[in-house]
Amino acid sequence: MTSVKSKILESLKAGNQVSGKQFASRFKMSTASVAARVSELRREGYAIYNNRKVDNQGRVTFKYRLGSPTKAVIAAGYAAGAR
C-alpha cells in the first residue's frame, strides 16, 4: 500500500499545485496531518513551496508545489552542514 506521503509527492512531481485542504479532502485526513507529511518530505530534501494564490474575486489560497531550490538555499544548506 502506498503511503499518503508518497501520494502527496507523486502528485507534486506530476506538476500539480494543490492546497492543503484539497490534499486533506483527497486523503481523508486533517490539514495538520498534510502539513506534517509535507514537512517530512522537506526534511528528506524535497523543495516544496507553499505559494499564495489570489483568484479573480480576491480570495486567497495557498498551494503546495514542487520546485527547485535556489543557489542561495543550497549554499545555506552546505554552510549549515559545515559547522
pLDDT in tens, the chain (83 residues): 479 999 999 999 999 999 999 999 999 999 999 999 999 999 998 999 999 999 999 999 999 999 988 888 888 888 887 66
pTM of the model: 0.80
What's the pLDDT score for residue 10? 96
The pLDDT, as a whole number, for residue 50 is 95
pLDDT of 83 reads 60
E strand or H helix at 54? strand 48-54
CATH number of the domain located at residue range(s) 4-81 in this protein = 1.10.10.10
